Chain A
Amino acid sequence: MAATDKIGAVMVVGGGISGLQSALDLADSGFKVYLVEKQPSIGGAMAQLDKTFPTNDCAMCIMAPKLVATGRHHNIDLITNADIVKVDGQEGNFTVTGKQRALRVDASKCTGCGSCAQKCPIETTDEYNENTKVRKAIFVKYPQAVPLIYSIDPEKCIGCGICAEECKADAVEYDQKEKDFEIKVGSIIVSPGFDEFDARLKAEYGYGVYQNVVSSIEFERILSATGPHFGTVMRPSDGDIPEKIAFIQCVGSRDEKVGNEYCSGVCCMYSIKEAIIAKEHGGNIKPKIFFMDMRAFGKEFEEYYNRAKDEYGIEFVRSRVASVFEDPKTKNLILKYVEKGEPKEEEFGLVVLAVGLRPPEDAEALSKVMNFSLNDDGFCETGAFTPVSTSRPGVFVSGAFSSPKDIPMTVAEASGAAAKAASEIASARDTLVTKKEYPAEIDVSEQEPRIGVFVCHCGINIGGVVKVPSVAEYARSLPNVVYAEENLYTCSQDTQEKIKQMVKEHNLNRVVVASCTPRTHEPLFQNTIKEAGLNAYLFEMANIRDQCSWIHMHEPAAATKKAKDLVRMAVAKSRLLESLENLTINVNQQALVVGGGASGMVAALELAKQGVKVHLVEKEKELGGTLLKLHYLPSGDDPVEYVQSLAKEVASDPNITVYTGKKVKSIDGYVGNFKTTLESGEEMEHGTVIVAVGAQEYKPDGEYLYGKNPGVMTLLEFKDKLKKGEVKGDSYAFIQCVGSREEGHPNCSRVCCTGTMTAAIKVKEKDPDAKVFVLYRDIRTYGFREKYYKEAAEKGVTFIRFEDGTKPQVEDKGGKIEVRVTDEDTGKEVVLTPDNLVLAAGTRPSDGSEELAPMLKVPITKEGFFLEAHMKLRPVDFATEGVYVAGLAHGPKFLDECIGQGLATVSRAMTVLSKTTLEAEGIVAFLDETLCDGCGICVPTCEYKALEIVPDKKDEKKKTLDINVGLCKGCGACVGACPSGALTQMGFSDEQIVAMIDAALEDAAENQEVKQ
């Protein structure tokens, strides 16, 4: 192979939520992935979080499925406990050298049962719980860790040998050595995440000195149900529940003294979240948040902030706390601060420091090894138009490593980086991935059930409590069970072989495993029986560990009886199991992109690079969207030039067909098989849809003399005039939050503060003597944008804060504009007479969004923006498969964020378009047409829009239900809704569930006697 040949594999460095998303996208679209993580397990910072804003979703609950999917994906190789040493080669063909530190446990043998850690006599503090709990010298990072492989902490282990003695799987290898690896990949994605700011550097807050001053991440663990106090909020000094909790914002952010001038972007929101959760955990707790500007800039963040104030009674104080002192007797803390010019003191039981985000400790080392640049703040350098590219071609970046950011932006970028990584090596797609081949399936439909039961000891996890031999013995006595055995570890490799062998020897046609949870282990056993020629759905599990032995540790007799009951239930269901078919759906490998702004064009071009034929529909005559009107970017880059070059590229790309000045009339079909008609009559077929219809600036008719006095204009109008040199006079006032953060439009428009800074700086650059005033409520220049706020202030822009609910008064005094505003800091009224009054008008959804949404069967928010499938982890997906959203259509955001999302939709779409067929779920809804009377009650229960009422083919007058199996995800919502019993959920039929219940309620002992 020549050195320039493209390699169809990608290395992802860093296994947090960002790395997981990149890896899954790539592995699902035909690339081999090597996921390198420096810690022994993946999961990153998100795995430590209790809940996530603004939905208060449990972080682990939403993350665990992605962890499991990554760990089990046959095209993802996890290389944990490893560091990158060298990267040779160039884009498309890199050779990566690395070192995997010794785990001292044989990963192929360890089953994660945990017997070793139970007995290890060496205790140390647990980093996962921020040292609020204890772990052993042999450990996993957290119970849901992936891979679930124990490792020995070389610093702490004394080599006593007990873990090796305890391990029934012989997995402990004290003499395991560091391993070198050399891997060839086509692209690299770096996503090492961030570190928290070390609060000890802010000595005035007493962190590390006073016990009851904790960091926000420590508090996150304190709040967590898996944390030290099972979720009860307790303070470290004495375990008392603190009545008053103070949150101090911007610790290590927006702070020149500690060298971090940027805003960390997430702390305001996580503090609100932590305050809400603390309040939920203990109703008498009174949280108070001390902040400078409340930066609730994201989608529906402002509403969350409002709920915190109005519903939860959380107090907010606008002040930078000067210092914290401890009362040595009570260990309470006294905060000194100035509010509205008045010095104040207040006592709290606990202080939480909202620590900022720092580049990861090894950022510099990584940048040297990989040869890419860091920015002045030590994060990975990216460009205004290349948010996921590092300075080294072929090496991409995502997540907090390029700038502090929240989870949804990280996940979108992760997909975006995956798209760029894939484009580079699109020609090598499907060259290194493996496809599993299975033997032909045995038809068991006419056979009497012959059930095999495998009961697991799980080392001593089950066997130490439950009498496993007697459970196996009991299983043998059950009707239709022709074979039963016990295993030390049913999940071990040798047992898989044994299961296959027993299926053959005893002609088993159903397999039951009594062990741990199907949530992690069902796919493994299903795979095994498929290899033995059985349909995967002829498998059933009894959870006798997580839900039996582990919770009845002190009642072995009762636990054994329960285990028998659970096995009897599983066997009862398995008798009724049927082979299910995973329907395949053909995929049309073309794409439709609706909207020709930056997001849409970026998506179209990237799809085209990966060889996809794209239909790009834009309702305006010209491609370009909002960017054409923006004129200035804070970075100094020219947005118009950029968007015009994109348009040129789009026009000349043979894979892209552009339809300008045209609107979508209808979209029918489902994932892989859409059919779209334009109003002008053109028709097109495609497999996915990307919604990038943009947004528009609010026209504040009637507000602040807008439309009445020519000196009053919106921010975009002002920039247009500025560009054209049509601005008159030398005094300027900007009013922020016009049409945002108020009734009817409660959320923040995100971009206006920075947009105002850009304009104000431009004005000052042209005329340093110009008088510029910015009237604001909170300045929300988050992330690195903080520097534009600082620059504006340094250039002499005057900032005047007005209180929420007391808008500035604007009057026309004989053609002159007069602005009256009460400065919150001084309480005095200020009168301004600017020549130009610029209204930072909010962002509104694009016209036509409301018509497009129902065509795609996707929802929109009450403000009219498109609503994604999940606010945290599926930021560019819709619940409807094959439909994605990018850019302003999803909500207000900056250009780099739009580009990130545009690229993200490509990566998501390629998980469909890279295949010729898709495999549908096996567990789907099934309709008995003779019973359905077409009432349609089930239809709205389906989140995935898989149900539709259609005329009955046999009887035109009657109506019936049509189930699109390609869209059905098998939740069973419709089955529960059906009033006529016409719907069944395959694999969870009424008969099967009732059989389990009957078995559960049957008396075990009696049953046994009858058999004997």
Chain B
Amino acid sequence: MTEKHHTAHHGKKKAEADKEWEPKIVGFLCNWCSYAGADLCGVSRFQYPTNIRLVRVMCSTRVSPHIVLEVFEAGADGILIGGCHLNDCHYMTGNYHTEKRVNLMKRLLREAGVDEGRLRLEWVSASEGEKFSKVVTEFTEEIQKLGPSKIHTDDMMKAKVAAADDASETFRLKALVGKEFNLLSKGNAYGDKLDPEKLSGIIDVATEEEFERALILELARIRPISVKQLGMVMEVPTDRILRHIVLLRQNSMIAMEHPEGFTPLYKTIEIGGEQ
């Protein structure tokens, strides 16, 4: 279920409540370019809405999917990440990695049904004060249009974002996204440069799978649940759910409850996690 789909079904009362609502936006800015750009913006007295709260990091690449998803879970309506322009990174290639990670975050947001417009990556140099004010103003308006995030009010969405968070922490996604830039730019272990589309496809598949697995674990943590129920709630074909269950059972992450009748139920094993 997507967020838009969700809001469309809400009545008048909700619309009234929204009037008083002001978007909460968090921005992560890299020390060397975008933070400096934001300072310049101030020095130059370019105005922008008051909704944003800025956090300084040394490099935009420090902002992991986990942090972003945590911030959404904590109640933010929008997140802005600012970094140096490509090739200008103070740390050589940090922003290239940022780009790959933001792609992953967007993939995960899509999976979770969160409008990916709530996350924005912008390259702002130390001399682009005006650009920074424009970016913030535009972004605030966009979030205004999207309305309040449902992440902490809707149980299903909460579970989905938690699942996206868990998925982002898996070794598989960390490995693929962590290696993505080098595999494309420097070549792989065979000395070949990978086709970016092929690799992107592989990461898409992995993201979808890891998200679905994490969501299954989230849902089966609440109460024992069947493949068919999972399929219905997650809107994923049951044969696909079953395949995930096979793997999760193999990795001792989920257990089958002794089936009564012909439909087995599954429950998440709580001591999971890699050593």
Q: Which of A132, A161, A238, A556 contacts B231 (CB 8 A)?
A: A238
Of A240-248, A440-448, A602-610, which stretch is located at the interface? Answer: A240-248
Q: Are B242 and A243 in contact (CB under 8 A)?
A: no
Distance of A238 Cα from B189 Cα, bound (Å):
39
Q: Are B206 and A121 in contact (CB under 8 A)?
A: yes
Q: Are A239 and B241 in contact (CB under 8 A)?
A: yes
Q: Which of B172, B179, B241, B250 contacts A161 (CB 8 A)?
A: B179
Q: Are B176 and A240 in contact (CB under 8 A)?
A: no
Chain A residue nearest to B203 in the complex (CB) = A121
B141 at the interface (CB under 8 A from A): no
Of A226-234, A886-894, A902-910, A953-961, which stretch is located at the interface? Answer: A226-234
A119 at the interface (CB under 8 A from B): yes
Residues of A within 8 A of B226 (CB): 239
Per-residue interface assignment for chain B, residues 161 to 196, with 1 indicating a CB less than 8 Å from any chain A CB and 0 otherwise: 000000000011101100100010001111010100
Distance of A228 Cα from B189 Cα, bound (Å):
32
Q: Are A160 and B189 in contact (CB under 8 A)?
A: yes
Q: Are B183 and A234 in contact (CB under 8 A)?
A: no
A523 at the interface (CB under 8 A from B): no
Residues of B within 8 A of A121 (CB): 171-173, 175-176, 206
In B202-244, the 8 Å CB interface with A consists of 202, 206, 209, 226-228, 231, 238-239, 241-243
Chain A residue nearest to B199 in the complex (CB) = A158
Distance of A554 Cα from B271 Cα, bound (Å):
7
Q: Are B259 and A232 in contact (CB under 8 A)?
A: yes
Per-residue interface assignment for chain B, residues 250 to 275, with 1 indicating a CB less than 8 Å from any chain A CB and 0 otherwise: 10100010010011100000011101
Q: Are B246 and A164 in contact (CB under 8 A)?
A: no
Q: Which of A211, A229, A236, A240 contacts B228 (CB 8 A)?
A: A240
Q: Which of A159, A229, A240, A553 contacts B188 (CB 8 A)?
A: A159
From residue A889, how far is it (CB to closest CB) to chain B in Å? Answer: 47
In A186-235, the 8 Å CB interface with B consists of 211, 228-230, 232, 234
Q: Are A241 and B171 in contact (CB under 8 A)?
A: no
A45 at the interface (CB under 8 A from B): no
Q: Which of A119, A133, A174 contacts B171 (CB 8 A)?
A: A119
Residues of A within 8 A of B256 (CB): 229-230, 232
Q: Are A158 and B194 in contact (CB under 8 A)?
A: yes
A684 at the interface (CB under 8 A from B): no
Q: Are A240 and B263 in contact (CB under 8 A)?
A: yes
Chain A residue nearest to B180 in the complex (CB) = A160
Chain A residue nearest to B187 in the complex (CB) = A159
Q: Are B238 and A238 in contact (CB under 8 A)?
A: yes
Q: Are A239 and B238 in contact (CB under 8 A)?
A: yes
Chain B residue nearest to A230 in the complex (CB) = B249
A61 at the interface (CB under 8 A from B): no
Residues of B within 8 A of A175 (CB): 190
Chain A residue nearest to B263 in the complex (CB) = A240
Distance of A239 Cα from B183 Cα, bound (Å):
38
Distance of A119 Cα from B227 Cα, bound (Å):
27
In A142-161, the 8 Å CB interface with B consists of 158-161
Q: Are B188 and A211 in contact (CB under 8 A)?
A: no
Q: Are A164 and B189 in contact (CB under 8 A)?
A: yes
Residues of B within 8 A of A160 (CB): 175-176, 179, 183, 188-189
A162 at the interface (CB under 8 A from B): yes
B245 at the interface (CB under 8 A from A): yes
In B72-101, the 8 Å CB interface with A consists of none
Q: Are A242 and B189 in contact (CB under 8 A)?
A: no
In B6-54, the 8 Å CB interface with A consists of none
Given A159-B188, A238-B231, do A132 and B246 touch, yes or no (CB 8 Å)? yes
A56 at the interface (CB under 8 A from B): no
Given A159-B192, A230-B249, do A239 and B172 touch, yes or no (CB 8 Å)? no
From residue A349, how far is it (CB to closest CB) to chain B in Å? Answer: 8
In A107-155, the 8 Å CB interface with B consists of 119, 121-123, 132-134
Residues of A within 8 A of B209 (CB): 123
Q: Are A240 and B246 in contact (CB under 8 A)?
A: no
Distance of A119 Cα from B173 Cα, bound (Å):
11
User: Range of interface residues on chain A?
Assistant: 35 or more
Residues of A within 8 A of B263 (CB): 239-241
| Residue from B176, B242, B247 whose CB has the most chain A CB atoms within 10 Å | B242
Distance of A159 Cα from B192 Cα, bound (Å):
8
Distance of A230 Cα from B241 Cα, bound (Å):
17
Distance of A160 Cα from B202 Cα, bound (Å):
12
| A interface, over-half SS | loop
Distance of A228 Cα from B227 Cα, bound (Å):
14
Distance of A191 Cα from B63 Cα, bound (Å):
58
Chain A residue nearest to B177 in the complex (CB) = A121
Given A134-B247, A234-B264, do A554 and B175 touch, yes or no (CB 8 Å)? no
A237 at the interface (CB under 8 A from B): yes
Distance of A609 Cα from B198 Cα, bound (Å):
62
Q: Are A161 and B189 in contact (CB under 8 A)?
A: yes
Chain A residue nearest to B252 in the complex (CB) = A553
Residues of A within 8 A of B275 (CB): 464-465, 553-554, 556
Q: Are B250 and A133 in contact (CB under 8 A)?
A: yes
Residues of B within 8 A of A132 (CB): 246
Q: Are A133 and B239 in contact (CB under 8 A)?
A: no
Residues of B within 8 A of A349 (CB): 262
A284 at the interface (CB under 8 A from B): yes
Residues of B within 8 A of A553 (CB): 252, 275
| Residue from A161, A239, A284 whose CB has the most chain B CB atoms within 10 Å | A239
Distance of A373 Cα from B197 Cα, bound (Å):
48
Per-residue interface assignment for chain B, residues 107 to 138, with 1 indicating a CB less than 8 Å from any chain A CB and 0 otherwise: 00000000000000000000000000000000
Q: Are B262 and A241 in contact (CB under 8 A)?
A: yes
Q: Are B239 and A237 in contact (CB under 8 A)?
A: yes
Residues of B within 8 A of A164 (CB): 189
Residues of A within 8 A of B252 (CB): 553
Q: Are A236 and B242 in contact (CB under 8 A)?
A: yes
Distance of A690 Cα from B156 Cα, bound (Å):
73
Distance of A241 Cα from B246 Cα, bound (Å):
14
Residues of B within 8 A of A174 (CB): 189-190
Q: Are A158 and B188 in contact (CB under 8 A)?
A: yes
Q: Are A284 and B262 in contact (CB under 8 A)?
A: yes
Q: Are A242 and B231 in contact (CB under 8 A)?
A: no
Distance of A558 Cα from B228 Cα, bound (Å):
38
From residue B251, how far is it (CB to closest CB) to chain A in Å? Answer: 10
Distance of A174 Cα from B231 Cα, bound (Å):
40
Q: Which of A119, A162, A239, A465 contacts B264 (CB 8 A)?
A: A239
Distance of A677 Cα from B212 Cα, bound (Å):
76
From residue B49, how far is it (CB to closest CB) to chain A in Å? Answer: 41
Q: Are A239 and B242 in contact (CB under 8 A)?
A: yes
Chain B residue nearest to A233 in the complex (CB) = B262
Residues of A within 8 A of B227 (CB): 238-240
Q: Which of B247, B264, B272 contacts A232 (CB 8 A)?
A: B264
Distance of A229 Cα from B189 Cα, bound (Å):
35
Chain A residue nearest to B271 in the complex (CB) = A554
Distance of A238 Cα from B236 Cα, bound (Å):
11
Chain A residue nearest to B198 in the complex (CB) = A158
Distance of A113 Cα from B24 Cα, bound (Å):
50
Per-residue interface assignment for chain A, residues 344 to 387, with 1 indicating a CB less than 8 Å from any chain B CB and 0 otherwise: 00000100000000000000000000000000000000000000
Q: Are B239 and A211 in contact (CB under 8 A)?
A: yes
Distance of A160 Cα from B190 Cα, bound (Å):
9
Q: Are A158 and B249 in contact (CB under 8 A)?
A: no
In A547-564, the 8 Å CB interface with B consists of 553-554, 556
13 A-B residue pairs with Cβ-Cβ distance under 8 Å, sorted by A, are A121-B175, A160-B189, A164-B189, A230-B256, A237-B242, A238-B228, A239-B226, A239-B227, A239-B238, A239-B241, A464-B275, A553-B252, A554-B272
A→B interface (CB under 8 Å):
119, 121-123, 132-134, 158-162, 164, 174-175, 211, 228-230, 232, 234, 236-243, 284, 349, 464-465, 553-554, 556
Known: A133-B247, A134-B247, A228-B246. 20 other contacts (CB 8 A): A121-B171, A121-B173, A121-B175, A121-B176, A121-B206, A123-B206, A132-B246, A134-B243, A158-B199, A161-B179, A174-B189, A174-B190, A229-B249, A234-B242, A236-B242, A239-B227, A239-B242, A240-B227, A242-B262, A464-B275
Closest A-B pairs by Cβ, 3 of them:
A159-B188, A238-B238, A239-B227
